[in-house]
């Protein structure tokens, strides 16, 4: 039986109930009706429950999803999704600027950094924090400083906490042979295609067209899969982000943001604007802010003249200051300044967010990325290892931290060879004609889009 993930109404409802509680709606009455009817909780890690429910429960789930969408939010004024409304809430919105294009070498370091950080996090994606720590400690790799390995891990520990089954064969130290396919690299490739076809003035509809042309539906997850389904159902952006999409504040838009920063060096406002038009196909509010934050921080890092702390401060200038994401990022940065032991920082972040947020939600993951970059002072190895060691969406966090830290390093030769050599300058993907492409080629293609007016 094919049990397609991230689209079953009975599974979406549990996630939407949690989302409603987070974004200022009052879902208790609807939750009571669902539970009284025997409706299941949302799966904790998987994208679908193992078996379908009755026709009655499925119809009830669809009806309740629509009722939840109609509930008013007490946070609406502080957390808008429209760009004009966001700008109105940001008193330090950066002024439009123009800087010379980042050289291909810096962009290659960014691509390599994104890939290495992603690959580091792949085998432990979905694992609980304690499992990540125990697996790394069992091989003497804690604090985390290099690739995960299965060699030397006690059998009983592997049995209790098996690696991510889709990634272990390509992402443990003993198995790495080039960069395997991952959505954290697929989306930057799609955005390269987007810019080549439509330029920097692309619309959200152009993003949708590019996806339908180039992105296999089976390579989408969470908010992206729901939005893809909504497109095929005849909905248009931005409704694609809202209709029965409980993942609209998760991390998916954030992982698409790097190219918008890379192609607007020194112009965080333009980078944030591009990220907004991209993100609103699939996300709202804090899910959009996470992408704008990453794009603005990346655009600042792409100049080669700013330190990591300036980059993060700039990222926050495009996020509504009273939003949940802004508060979480500021707290992550504060914790990183307060504690010398990064495990203490991570424990505090988990205490604040793990009980209320899914492990793929944008709010805790963005806070962790900012904390990791701050605590490592932008150092490449320190940044990616801290981001991954904090758990949650490990490959995505490693990728975003690695992309920014790679830009700050400025050149592929500035990245330690243990991170770049196993990548073999080769990326596997199902997007377009990019399968097997080298990171040096991607850097030149990105540089070309950077120079385009």
How many helices and strands (H and E) does the chain possess?
A: 23, 0
Which residues are within 8 A (CB) of 130 and not within 5 positions of it... i.e. 6 or more apart?
none
Strand-pair partners of 222 = none
The secondary structure of residue 412, as a DSSP letter, is G
Nearest CA to 342 out of 380, 383, 313, 397 is that of 383
Element (H, E) at 158: helix 155-160
Which residues are within 8 A (CB) of 41 and not within 5 positions of it... i.e. 6 or more apart?
14
Residue 164 structure tokens: 């991510």
End-to-end CA distance of the chain: 50
pLDDT in tens, 312-362: 999 999 999 999 999 999 999 999 999 999 999 999 999 999 999 999 999
**pLDDT at position 238 over 70:** yes
**pLDDT at position 453 over 70:** no
Concatenated DSSP letters for 414-441?
GS-HHHHGGGTT-B--SSTT-TTB-HHH
Strand-pair partners of 405 = none
**pLDDT at position 422 over 70:** yes
> Looking at residues 377-400, what average pLDDT do you find?
98
Per-residue confidence (pLDDT) for residue 102, from 0 to 100: 87
Between helices 342-353 and 380-389, what is the axis angle to 10°?
Answer: 40
Concatenated DSSP letters for 63-107?
HHHHHHHTS--TTTTTS--SHHHHHHH-TTPPPP---PPPPHHHH
Residue 443 structure tokens: 């850097």
Q: Where are the domains of the chain?
A: 9-69, 83-119+180-451
Span of 67-81, 97-111, 396-410, 425-439 with lowest mean pLDDT: 97-111
CA distance 401 to 113: 8
**pLDDT at position 98 over 80:** no
Nearest CA to 272 out of 97, 35, 37 is that of 97
| C-alpha distances out from residue 279 to 207, 222, 254, 358, 369, Å | 9, 14, 8, 19, 19
Per-residue confidence (pLDDT) for residue 46, from 0 to 100: 82
130 by Cβ neighbours in 10 Å (0-12 / 13-18 / 19+) ranks as exposed
Q: What percent of the chain has pLDDT over 70?
A: 99
Residue 83 structure tokens: 């760009």
Question: Is the whole model's pTM more than 0.95, yes or no?
Answer: yes
> Looking at residues 299-306, what average pLDDT do you find?
96
CA distance 311 to 371: 13
Answer yes or no: are the C-beta atoms of 207 and 275 closer than 8 Å: no
Element (H, E) at 185: helix 183-198
Per-residue confidence (pLDDT) for residue 2, from 0 to 100: 74
**pLDDT at position 384 over 90:** yes
CA distance 50 to 344: 36
Q: Which fold does the domain 83-119+180-451 belong to in CATH?
A: ADP-ribosylglycohydrolase fold (1.10.4080)
> Looking at residues 165-184, what average pLDDT do you find?
96
Average pLDDT, the chain: 96
**pLDDT at position 134 over 90:** yes
> Looking at residues 183-207, what average pLDDT do you find?
98
CA distance 230 to 146: 41
Per-residue confidence (pLDDT) for residue 451, from 0 to 100: 85
């Amino acid at each position: 039986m094919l049990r397609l993930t991230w689209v079953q109404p009975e599974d979406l409802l549990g996630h939407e109930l949690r989302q409603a509680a987070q974004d200022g709606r009052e879902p208790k009455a609807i939750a009571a009706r669902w539970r009284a009817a025997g409706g299941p909780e949302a799966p904790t890690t998987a994208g679908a429950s193992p078996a379908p429910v009755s026709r009655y429960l499925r119809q009830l789930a669809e009806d309740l999803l629509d009722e939840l969408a109609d509930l008013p939010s007490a946070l609406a004024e502080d957390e808008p999704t429209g760009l004009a409304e966001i700008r109105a809430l940001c008193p330090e919105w950066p002024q439009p600027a123009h800087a010379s294009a980042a050289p291909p070498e810096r962009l290659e370091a960014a691509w390599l950094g994104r890939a290495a950080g992603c690959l580091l996090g792949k085998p432990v994606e979905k694992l609980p924090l304690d499992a990540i720590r125990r697996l790394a400690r069992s091989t003497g790799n804690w604090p985390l400083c290099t690739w995960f390995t299965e060699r030397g891990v006690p059998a009983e520990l592997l049995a209790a906490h098996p690696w991510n089954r889709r990634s272990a064969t390509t992402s443990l130290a003993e198995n790495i042979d080039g960069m395997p396919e991952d959505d954290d690299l697929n989306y930057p490739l799609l955005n390269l295609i987007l810019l080549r076809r439509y330029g920097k003035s692309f619309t959200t509809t152009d993003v949708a067209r590019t996806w339908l042309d180039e992105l296999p539906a089976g390579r989408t997850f969470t908010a992206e899969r729901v939005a893809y389904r909504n497109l095929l159902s005849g909905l248009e952006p931005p409704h694609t982000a809202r209709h029965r999409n409980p993942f609209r504040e998760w991390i998916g838009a954030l992982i698409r943001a790097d190219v918008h920063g890379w192609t607007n060096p020194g112009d965080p406002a333009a980078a944030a604007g591009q990220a907004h038009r991209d993100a609103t196909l699939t996300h709202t509010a804090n899910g959009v802010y996470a992408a704008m934050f990453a794009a603005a921080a990346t655009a600042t890092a792409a100049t080669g003249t700013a330190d990591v702390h300036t980059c993060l401060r700039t990222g926050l200038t495009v996020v509504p200051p009273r939003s949940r994401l802004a508060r979480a990022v500021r707290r992550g940065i504060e914790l990183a300044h307060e504690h010398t032991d990064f495990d203490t920082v991570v424990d505090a972040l988990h205490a604040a967010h793990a009980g209320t947020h899914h492990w793929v939600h944008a709010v805790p993951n963005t806070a962790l990325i900012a904390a990791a970059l701050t605590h490592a002072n932008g150092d490449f190895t320190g940044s990616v290892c801290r981001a991954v060691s904090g758990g949650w969406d490990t490959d995505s966090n490693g990728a975003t931290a690695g992309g920014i830290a790679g830009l700050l390093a400025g050149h592929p030769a500035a990245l330690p060879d243990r991170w770049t050599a196993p990548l073999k300058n080769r990326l596997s993907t199902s997007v377009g004609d990019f399968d097997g492409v080298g990171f040096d080629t991607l850097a030149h293609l990105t540089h070309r889009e950077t120079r385009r007016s």
